[in-house]
Homo-oligomer: A and B are copies of this chain.
Amino acid sequence: MPERLAEAFAAIQQDVDAAFDAFLPVPDDSRAPLLEAMRYAVIGGGKRVRPLLVCATARLYGVARDAAVNAGCAVEAIHAYSLIHDDLPCMDDDDLRHGKPTVHKAFGEAVAVLAGDSLHALAFDILTMPGTSADPFVRSELVATLARASGHGGMAGGQMMDIASAQRDYDLPEVTRLQQLKTGALLAASVELGAILGKVPPEGRTHLRAYARDIGLAFQIADDLLDVEGDEDKAGKALRKDEGQGKQTFVTLMGRDAARRQATVLVEQAGQHLASHGAEAELLIELARFVVRRDH
């Protein structure tokens, strides 16, 4: 990993952990297990790709770091709640996440459902804090963008398509659509949140959306390749699940080599969309390259 990117990851991991620590004090009453489960899910785990996307985009437009970290925490809270609920026995039934027991394994299913729901609400709470933006129009746009990206028209809709894929085989356009919703929508929202904080009007965000769309697909292709080729210890979660469930993925539909080539093309293309930003976009371009080269 390039030094600049490694430093950016280290900084965002530290800032996101510190922010969640401040957002989530454990109360001295019987709600304590809920707050402990929320903290377990969002502090000290995860690569923080989404918060880094928010912050790196926001920096292109001179947004204050604290505001961008807040918005990054909101996206991360949505991402974390979706993982908690996805890992439940009635969903993917996973025991391991980021190398430790999943939330329902550590705190029980009922607390896991509630912790997910509470992180979901926390995301929108954070976005409406004055510390995220002093401009109410910005706060309202942040909420609208994240709510649409995570609901039935975005992430949750993609998860529904994923569940339905057990019943029939999808073709490549359908898998692409599924992944654009399930993973892509929240990655795109991360970039968009950074631009909203920078008060970039919607028509000025076209190239950022194109960048986000390309890295979203590249990210998912890389995930499908990791599921086949990755190391479970490094991944910190169970792999080889797609095959076991007989699911169509970019790898099963395109083959490994073509999938790998496609991811590389998407990453190059993603970088080209940011050409107008010159050297300032270098971090986002390095992040795009990392997305397909990562080993976990």
Contact of A161 with B110 in the complex, beta carbons under 8 Å: no
Cα distance A21–B139 when bound, in Å? 28
Contact of A164 with B30 in the complex, beta carbons under 8 Å: yes
Q: Could you say which of A4-12, A116-124, A220-228, A264-272 contacts chain B?
A: A116-124
Report how many residues on chain A are interfacial, defined by Cβ distance under 8 Å: 56
Q: Could you say which of A45-53, A57-65, A144-152, A247-255 contacts chain B?
A: A144-152
Chain B residues with Cβ below 8 Å from A90 are 88-90, 108-110, 113
Option from B38, B111, B124 in Cβ contact (under 8 Å) with A147: B124
Option from B34, B89, B113, B128 in Cβ contact (under 8 Å) with A140: B128
Contact of A160 with B124 in the complex, beta carbons under 8 Å: no
Chain B residues with Cβ below 8 Å from A114 are 85, 156, 159-160, 163
Chain B residues with Cβ below 8 Å from A56 are none
Contact of A161 with B120 in the complex, beta carbons under 8 Å: no
Contact with B along A11-46 (1 / 0, CB 8 A): 000000000000010000111011100100000000
Instruction: Considering the complex, give the chain B residue whose CB is closest to the CB of A162.
Output: B30
Chain B residues with Cβ below 8 Å from A109 are 90
Residue A262 lies at the interface, judged by CB distance under 8 Å to chain B: no
Cα distance A202–B217 when bound, in Å? 45
Instruction: Considering the complex, give the chain B residue whose CB is closest to the CB of A108.
Output: B90
Q: A33-B160, A121-B154, A124-B143 are in contact. List 5 more A-B contacts (CB 8 A).
A: A33-B164, A90-B109, A90-B110, A117-B117, A128-B141
Chain B residues with Cβ below 8 Å from A30 are 160-161, 164-165, 174
Chain B residues with Cβ below 8 Å from A246 are none
Chain B residues with Cβ below 8 Å from A110 are 90-91, 163
Cα distance A89–B90 when bound, in Å? 10
Q: Nearest Cβ in chain B — how far from A93, in angstroms?
A: 10
Interface residues of A in 73-113 (CB under 8 A from B): 81-82, 85, 88-91, 108-111, 113
Q: Nearest Cβ in chain B — how far from A141, in angstroms?
A: 8
Cα distance A247–B81 when bound, in Å? 29
Given A143-B124, A144-B125 in contact, is the A157-B31 Cβ separation under 8 Å?
yes
Contact of B122 with A152 in the complex, beta carbons under 8 Å: yes
Contact of B124 with A157 in the complex, beta carbons under 8 Å: no
Residue A127 lies at the interface, judged by CB distance under 8 Å to chain B: yes
Q: Which 8 interchain pairs have the tightest Cβ spacing?
A: A121-B151, A90-B109, A128-B144, A30-B164, A34-B160, A136-B137, A125-B147, A124-B147
Chain B residues with Cβ below 8 Å from A148 are 121, 125
Instruction: Considering the complex, give the chain B residue whose CB is closest to the CB of A139.
Output: B140
Instruction: Considering the complex, give the chain B residue whose CB is closest to the CB of A82.
Output: B117
Contact of B122 with A147 in the complex, beta carbons under 8 Å: yes
Q: Nearest Cβ in chain B — how far from A34, in angstroms?
A: 4
Option from B88, B91, B118, B164 in Cβ contact (under 8 Å) with A152: B118
